[in-house]
Amino acid sequence: MIKSYFKTAMRFLLKNKTFSFINIIGLAIGTLSCLYILLYVQDQYSYDKQHQNAENIYRVTSQLSATGDKRNFATSSPPIAPSMKRDFAEVQQYARVVPSLGATKHLLSYGLKSIYETDAYYADPDFFNLFNYHFLSGTPAGALAAPYSIVLQQWVAEKLFGHENPINKVITYDDSFGRHDFKVTGVIDNSTGKSHLQARLLLSINSGGMGEFVLNNNGYAGNNLVSSYIKLRPGADAKVLEKKLPAFINKYGGQQLKETGMQKQLHLQPINAIHTTTGYEAETSQTVAASFLYTLSLIALLIQITACINFMNLSTARASQRAKEVGVRKVIGASKADLVRQFIGESFLLSFISVAIALPLLALLLPYLNTLTSADISIRLNNPQLWGMLAILITITGLLAGSYPAFYLSAFKAIKIMKGNFTSQVSAAGLRRSLVVFQFIISIVLIIGIIVIYTQLNYIKNKDLGFNAQQKLVFRFYTAGTQSKIDGFANDLRRLAEVKSTSRANAVLGEPIMRDHGVYLSGGNMANAVDAQNITTDKNFTGTADIQLISGRIFAENDSGKVLINETLAHRLGLNAQTAPGTRLYTQYQPNPVTYVEVAGVMKDFNYNSLHGDIKPFMFMYDTKEGDMNTLLVAAETKDYAALLKKIEQVWHQDLPSAPFEYAFLDTEVQKQYETEFTLSRIINSFTLIAIFISCLGLFGLAAFSAEQRIKEIGVRKVLGASTAGIVQLLSADFLKLVIIALVIAAPIAWWAMRQWLQAFAYHISISWWMFALAGAATLSIALLTVSFQAVKAALVNPIKSLRSE
């Protein structure tokens, strides 16, 4: 029986090549898109699942509140994790991780070879008791116990040592804190799985630098710069433990918090939820919003449904061609269940063929798709999850695409069929129209999404941020040795005609600002202080970045103790922006005495951080001796950047001969804040085109079927004098009405969805009528072009041929 079903299905597919081609291509493209998105989503949710007892590992996060402002940090204060282990029996182990602050890159040297590397972290000795890594060399036990021990990622070890065994070799580690020798105790790779903690270098915490600062710090209120992880004992309830944390933080940090005017809450975040949770400051790596993954999953589902709809529509539309087959099978004893199994089996066959085409095609397109999503998805045939996804896709697609046609075709009455009546008890025309409308609702919603996202991103690119990011170069200096050369390098650059000015700072605008100070006016205290983020700069920063002052003056030489504040900070302090210069701002962090700074000027508000958030209190602090002022901002004016960069490179190699020449453009650095949005835009653009293509394939097939069914009517109309244009209009009108209905339904859905998306931005566009008009015009044009091809083809047929048998 199965063999008979298979032969019948293959015979029908080969006989109806256009029908088969449309269905197979549509399902193959839909399956390819759906499969890639599923692999991408699965990859994003796979982070930190590889660790033993991962369900018991949590990160301690902090929520800080000061004078109404709330900020969520992925980090906590240095002594919190050790104190939790001491106070709570539920905590079995802990490990703290702190980045080697002061520079984003670190110089490693071994023999005559030197390389710069990023992502260096100091870690507690128990780090490898919580986190499972594959050790290529060395062992996890005690790898970070001894002072000045270091564990390297595989590619770092290969760059330094080649094929030489690195264990117990001594390398020199050079960063903003100075040079130290470290012994290599291990080499790891990521073969066990991906982690949110993408460390290239792991240093024992008892090795000076930031590690020493963490070990000696006893502040429970501030210094929230440590990623603290705890492992609970089996059976311990994280929610119950979390309820004990308010009393815990009050016990150890209550007095400190009172003195600083802050409130602090601690929370436990499951480790396998870190990568798919956004909204935290001081993350160790880029996270992805769960809502973004839900959106992608929905797009995958809708694309696959669109492809299935094509199969359903074309199968029911061509039912008359199979009616006699159904009648004959019923006459010789086939039951309705037999026919349902046969037609669903055909659907499964088409689904299987589509997967067989989609899988190698996906492998071929992976480099492009990975570029699209900024991912590194790979297809491994030994991956059981891949085969599980394929089995689910084949099953769901086969059932979804084949169920209605199977029940529709099997409902034909044998007696009526033999008499030439090919109508079924189940109505198909109305459902076909509804499904076409549904397909185009999907396409129109995605098209409107493209328009809104593109307009918002264009708004972001062109919005006046309050400072000028154009024609600005950023240079970073990663070691104490190179930082000592910054001023000389800057002086030499200013001799170039194309360089307008230079400024030294500890950060640049457009990147996360990690420093903040609570400040208050005379007569106040830290309880009513306003938290202000800040950057330390020299006297040239405002001029170099083209920041406007509304009162006071910019920094002058030797302006120690002076600050420039923004309008928001002045307002929050209750100051008049015009008269604020000269005002003293006080601060105090125990056990240090009260100190003050003086306002030199008030700056016009500018967006120093992402447009996702409102402008917050901010200030520039003057300093020329700060140890972490490792960034140089250069304002240039030229039309030939290639020539300018060659000149700058010559100066660089003259002043810093041993350091690699690296630079960045400030406007590019600013745009990096919106990488998720740009990725979403690329994905929606590509998959919207796919959805439209699949919808048009189905529309093309239905138009061809409609023209075929009405061929005699067209012939009669032409004999009676109908024009080609009139016939094209006749055949196209019904389909275009469906597209218009889809537009009416899709518009409010798209408006709601994109309004929700725009709420993530404090600064965003308004959704305008022209966006819907443009989407409607584009969809109507595409649909008209698709249908018109078949309509024109039918209209040009010689009526003598179509009426020959009449």
Contact (Cβ atoms closer than 8 angstroms) between residue 612 and residue 560: no
Residue pLDDT, tens place only, 315-337 = 665 555 555 565 655 556 556 56
| Token duo for residue 183 | 């012994």
Q: What is the pLDDT of residue 460?
A: 87
Above 90 in pLDDT, residue 555? yes
Above 60 in pLDDT, residue 776? yes
State how far the Cα of 193 lies from the Cα of 134, in Å rounded to an integer. Answer: 9
- Of 215-229, 267-281, 395-409, 750-764, least confident by mean pLDDT is 395-409
Residue 270: which region, alpha, beta or left (left: phi > 0; alpha: psi -120 to 50)?
beta
Above 80 in pLDDT, residue 402? no
Residue pLDDT, tens place only, 582-608 = 999 998 766 677 788 999 999 999 998
State how far the Cα of 528 lies from the Cα of 525, in Å rounded to an integer. Answer: 6
Above 60 in pLDDT, residue 730? yes
Q: What is the pLDDT of residue 113?
A: 86
Mean pLDDT of the region 686-695: 85
Q: What is the pLDDT of residue 70?
A: 83
Q: What is the pLDDT of residue 152?
A: 95
Predicted confidence band at 448 (pLDDT cuts at 50, 70, 90)?
very high
pTM of the shown model: 0.83
Residue pLDDT, tens place only, 149-179 = 999 999 999 999 988 999 999 999 987 777 8
Contacts of 380-385 spanning 24+ positions with Cβ under 8 A: 385/42
Task: Say which residue, 398 or 762, is predicted with more confidence.
Answer: 762
Residue pLDDT, tens place only, 455-512 = 998 898 888 889 999 999 999 988 888 888 999 999 999 999 999 999 999 888 888 8
Residue pLDDT, tens place only, 295-305 = 888 888 888 88
State how far the Cα of 136 lies from the Cα of 186, in Å rounded to an integer. Answer: 8
State how far the Cα of 381 lies from the Cα of 805, in Å rounded to an integer. Answer: 56
Contact (Cβ atoms closer than 8 angstroms) between residue 547 and residue 464: no
State how far the Cα of 109 lies from the Cα of 121, in Å rounded to an integer. Answer: 17
Above 50 in pLDDT, residue 426? no
For residue 708, the SS3 value is helix
Q: What is the pLDDT of residue 257?
A: 84
State how far the Cα of 618 lies from the Cα of 568, in Å rounded to an integer. Answer: 8
- Closest among 795, 758, 502 to 635, alpha carbons compared: 502
State how far the Cα of 523 lies from the Cα of 501, in Å rounded to an integer. Answer: 40
Q: What is the pLDDT of residue 208?
A: 86
For residue 505, the SS3 value is strand
Burial of 387 (0-12, 13-18, 19+ CB in 10 A): exposed
Task: Give the count of alpha carbons within 13 A of 435, CB side only.
Answer: 26
Contact (Cβ atoms closer than 8 angstroms) between residue 99 and residue 120: yes
| Token duo for residue 800 | 């003598």
Average pLDDT, the chain: 84
Q: What is the pLDDT of residue 408?
A: 60
Q: At 113, which helix (H) or strand (E)? A: strand 113-118
Sign, CA torsion 300/303/309/314: negative
Above 50 in pLDDT, residue 110? yes
User: How open is the CA angle 497-501-507, to the nearest 5 degrees?
Assistant: 140
Mean pLDDT of the region 134-140: 93
Mean pLDDT of the region 534-538: 93
State how far the Cα of 758 lies from the Cα of 452, in Å rounded to an integer. Answer: 9
- Closest among 754, 775, 773, 774 to 765, alpha carbons compared: 754
Contact (Cβ atoms closer than 8 angstroms) between residue 97 and residue 127: yes
State how far the Cα of 300 lies from the Cα of 292, in Å rounded to an integer. Answer: 12
State how far the Cα of 269 lies from the Cα of 263, in Å rounded to an integer. Answer: 19
State how far the Cα of 135 lies from the Cα of 138, in Å rounded to an integer. Answer: 6
Mean pLDDT of the region 525-543: 89
Residue pLDDT, tens place only, 648-665 = 999 999 999 888 898 999
